[in-house]
Amino acid sequence: MSTVTISAADVNKLRQQTGAGMMDCRKALMESEGDFEKAIDYLRKKGQKVAANRSDRDAKEGVVIAKASADNTYGVIVNLSSETDFVSKNAEFIAFANSLTEIALNTKADSIDALKAAAMEGATVGDKLLEMVAKIGEKIDVVRYETMTAAAVVPYIHAGYRIGVLVGLNKAANEGVIAAGKDVAMQIAAMNPLAVDAESIPAEMVEREKAIALEQVAAEGKTGDMAEKIAMGKLNKFFKENTLLPQAFVKDGGKSVADYLKSVEADLTVASFKRIAVGS
């Protein structure tokens, strides 16, 4: 055991640097014989141990942050998870998630691993995540991450950081395009469409929905061409309800989303979108 005297001021200094508890800081300094860098490493190692011990816990709470670059041509969504909503509603946790998202945006990290390897306050994002685990005592991690490049990328955060959306539009950003993108992002947050349009639905999903429709029609006693026609009608209804562009626009049910976009600019449309919800 170290014979180095650890003062209350030293413990407080380490606590301010790391956010770890007083007793943990005292023990770290004693184990590292007063060396602050070694003490920080000790706490990080403790954080790794805590993270491992909590790996079997569900982390279904958290926040989702969506941001776009200054020119609105690139965007990211980061889902930082926690175990409880008590932590996810904490201002420090939300600020940390915002900082991670800014780093993701600035570095254009192309994966969660790349984001965790990025520099953050003299360490890496991964190190800082482990420090948060040690400090807060919950499983905390980046669990989902999406990026987008488009002529215009519009971000939107819904319902107290519960849902994040990126909308990619085919026209360069201006005031009208950004406003339209925000409206469409709200639609995506609320309605959770499967894809932009029918052509964007995976073929296997289309075949499954068609098979279901045909079974329903057969159960009604319809056969032959009539059955095929009715089944296609059901399939088209599925596309209208579950893909973005043909959906009724939430702000004006008399228009589809596609019609609304055309009212802003004649050939304006959605090229792609990303949506992440907490716990999904």
Three-state helix/strand/coil letters over 28-96: HHHHCCCCHHHHHHHHHHHHHHHHHHCCCCCCCEEEEEEEECCCCCEEEEEEEEECCHHHHCCHHHHHH
Section 14-25 average pLDDT:
78
Section 246-275 average pLDDT:
96
Which band of pLDDT confidence, cut at 50, 70 and 90, is reported for residue 48? very low
Read off the pLDDT of residues 204-228 as tens digits, 9 standing for 90 and up: 988 888 888 888 888 888 888 888 8
Residue ranges of domains in the chain, CATH in brackets: 8-53 (1.10.8.10), 61-196+267-277 (3.30.479.20)
Which carries the bigger pLDDT value, residue 216 or residue 199? 199
